[in-house]
Amino acid sequence: MMNRLEALKSMTTVVADTGDFQAIIDYRPQDATTNPSLLYKAAQMPAYRELVEDAVLHGTRHGGGDSQAQARLTMDKLAVNFGTEILKVVPGRVSTEIDARLSFDTEGTVRRAEALVELYDQAGIDARERVLFKIASTWEGIRAAERLERQGIHCNLTLLFGFAQAVACADAGVTLISPFVGRILDWYKKAENVAGYPADEDPGVRSVTRIYNYYKRHDYPTVVMGASFRNLDEILELAGCDYLTISPALLGELASTEGEVPRRLDPDRARALDIPRVGYDEIGFRWELNEDAMATEKLAEGIRLFTADTLKLERFAREINQSA
């Protein structure tokens, strides 16, 4: 009998949610995702010191004595350095995060993605084929992704907690979305003062299931990649989802247990459902998001947390520069 990780891979593309290359090698995922939190953790590992030092040198050389420009260029180069190394050990794509401080800046997001594409090109990577650019699922972020997709620059819309966000992303033609599971669970556990939920009643699982069924029912090509898992049961309840991005710890649990993994999400079943098609202009989108307290709060919190880790990463890079 195969282990549960291999069983899951038979119906879902498994993605490693880490910046640690060794963990990626161990579990042989198709793709990998990174974010500022994961990069900050990986950047402090001695094994990756050279990548950080190279990024700092790039920022210093090209920043023109402007400390803010140096910090921005260092962060961009660091993301590309890690992405380039990850692409040596995954056959598919890596997701590289756009600075969360640009979450409400459409033009800034487009420019930053274009700059990252250029850096990847300089590193010998065809970013249009092998990189997804992670952008927060704000109205401004979705509009930026729409423009980038028209240029052949593919996007992963992250920090997605609400149905309106998912609908707007699909209508914008984005390549992939990352609806969060565990963070939705966290919010409901606190709001409803409960210790947990049965796996099939987990609010995060239900959210991703609803989005998946809507996309399949209306033939959207946008890939649904469940993210942010708190336990194995959440993953198993979403077996059959297009993609799932999973931490090394949970990948290890899947790999170390044998057993069947029943398919929970199925495109044919979804296409048979009676689900009306909806759409949102900017006013409607903002209203629906505002009406969803969980999505509003978790989106704002997620942007703040990613920004905080970006700032920590910048400080860490400055310390390395000063000690050089």
Active site residues: 134
What sign for the dihedral angle of Cα 265, 267, 272, 274? Answer: positive
User: Around 203, how many Cα atoms within 13 Å sit in the side-chain half-sphere?
Assistant: 18
* Residue 76 to residue 10: CA distance in whole angstroms: 35
Q: What is the DSSP letter of 222?
A: P
Contacts of 150 (CB under 8 A, 6+ apart): none
Which two structure tokens, joined as six digits, stand for 151? 């240029």
Contacts of 72 (CB under 8 A, 6+ apart): 59, 63, 99
Which two structure tokens, joined as six digits, stand for 299? 């989106």
What sign for the dihedral angle of Cα 94, 88, 321, 317? Answer: positive
Is-contact 171 192, C-beta < 8 A? no
Q: Rounded to the nearest 10 degrees, how much is the dihedral formed by the CA atoms of 93, 41, 103, 77?
A: -60
User: Around 258, how many Cα atoms within 13 Å sit in the side-chain half-sphere?
Assistant: 2
3-state SS, residue 265: coil
Which two structure tokens, joined as six digits, stand for 83? 């992405």
In angstroms, what CA-CA distances link 88 with 34, 37, 91, 94?
A: 15, 22, 8, 10
Residues facing 133 on adjacent strands: 96, 155
